[in-house]
Amino acid sequence: MSPSSPPDPHRHGGCRTGHRPPGAVTAAAPVTERLVRDPDVVALLATLSREAFLADLATITAHRTRRSSSAGFDEAATWAAAELERVGYGVSTQAVPRGGGRCRNVIADRPGTGPEPRDVVLVTAHLDSINLSEGPESPPGSADAQGGGLGTLPAADEPAPGADDNGSGSAGLLALARALAGRSTALDLRLILFGGEEQGLFGSLAYVAELPDSERIRIRAVLNMDMIGGRNTPEPGVLLEGAEVSQDVIDALARAAATYTGLAVSTSLHPFNSDHVPFIDAGIPAVLTIEADDSANTRPHTADDTVDMVDPDLAVEILRMNLAYLVDVL
């Protein structure tokens, strides 16, 4: 679908539960060639801390809701921005008006050391949460009704801890930020926590729409994390979801998984309903890394998406894959 096509709620709804096209996932990906492990990469992966991940996840989910227009989202975004700045990133924000008055993207940059002009690699996750279990229909003319969104609005007093969706991806972004903070890389690194994802990918759509051509052509790859902590299969697994434009990134991530993790990898070239989609629609290589068989997880968008239901060991394995890939591409 081109960027000028009418909004497709199947691709842009911001809701991962259900709706995957039949046959969209290759559940048993071919065994990927395992590379020789680089001792330097192995040492870096060892810095990923289960305890630090859980601590960040607890901080993120401490708010009753992180709906994009809420005080909880505002506080979580302010805290995350301060954490990224504390470990050495240049931090800025981008307003996302469609998500509500407090909604914004938090953007953290660290320049590479290669010759200019340099390409940039993006790592993304959405920070907002939502509870749809008892939400009424969106009123006509509302942001959700206009934006290809979910078609529902949550009751204001409904808890939306959003631990897996997407406290896990947000905590994962912070973990990768810390791991890479002191490492010299040739390419630029940009980390983005999006707002408004659950209402219709508002943050990522705004970000891509406002990219000047000079910035768009610099993007080497986009690595998106959404729901990396739900164990839905007997063995720990990850789904790599992109499109044809993303195939090289998918292959590289699969090699990293085979070399440095015990993850079972499945793949899909049918992207939908997460922040990788606007980039793919703009012709930018982007891949979603998400827990295997995510559609079997019924807790997201309810009060039951709590920290105790997140498997931190699965999350850290997915982070190990992502970090190994980033070391290689950067």
Could you tell me the CATH number of the domain that includes residue 41?
A: 3.40.630.10
Residue 56 lies inside a defined structural domain of this protein? yes
Residue 10 lies inside a defined structural domain of this protein? no
Q: Read off the pLDDT of residues 243-292 as tens digits, 9 standing for 90 and up.
A: 999 999 999 999 999 999 999 999 999 999 999 999 999 999 999 999 99
- Domain of 320 in residue numbering reads as 28-133+140-329
Residue 5 lies inside a defined structural domain of this protein? no
Q: Read off the pLDDT of residues 185-229 as tens digits, 9 standing for 90 and up.
A: 999 999 999 999 999 999 999 999 999 999 999 999 999 999 999
Contacts of 142 (CB under 8 A, 6+ apart): 153
| Closest to 9 in 3D by CA, of 239, 205, 224 | 205
SS (H, E, C) 116-140: CCCCEEEEEEECCCCCCCCCCECCC
Of the pLDDT bands very low, low, confident and very high (cuts 50, 70, 90), residue 34 is: confident
Residue 38 lies inside a defined structural domain of this protein? yes
Please give the share of the chain, as a percent, with pLDDT higher than 90: 80
| Closest to 271 in 3D by CA, of 259, 282, 260 | 282
148 with 290: CB under 8 angstroms?
no
Please give the model's pTM, rounded to 2 decimal places.
Answer: 0.90
Query: How is residue 84 written in tokens?
Result: 């990224």
Of the pLDDT bands very low, low, confident and very high (cuts 50, 70, 90), residue 32 is: low
Residue 294 lies inside a defined structural domain of this protein? yes
54 vs 329: CA distance, rounded Å: 27
Residue 8 lies inside a defined structural domain of this protein? no
pLDDT exceeds cutoff 70 at 242: yes
Mean pLDDT in residue range 40-54: 97
Residue 271 lies inside a defined structural domain of this protein? yes
| 156-73-278 Cα angle (round to 5) | 105
pLDDT exceeds cutoff 70 at 310: yes
Q: Read off the pLDDT of residues 135-191 as tens digits, 9 standing for 90 and up.
A: 543 433 344 433 334 444 555 568 999 999 999 999 999 999 999 999 999 999 999
96 vs 181: CA distance, rounded Å: 27
Residue 6 lies inside a defined structural domain of this protein? no
| Amino acid at site 117 | P
233 vs 229: CA distance, rounded Å: 12
More confident site: 133 or 278 = 278
281 with 1: CB under 8 angstroms?
yes
In this predicted structure, what is the pLDDT of residue 319?
98
In this predicted structure, what is the pLDDT of residue 231?
97
Q: How many structural domains compose the chain?
A: 1
DSSP strands (E only) in 179-299: 188-194, 219-225, 237-241, 264-268, 286-291
Of the pLDDT bands very low, low, confident and very high (cuts 50, 70, 90), residue 101 is: confident
241 vs 263: CA distance, rounded Å: 15
Rounded to the nearest integer, the mean pLDDT of the chain is 88
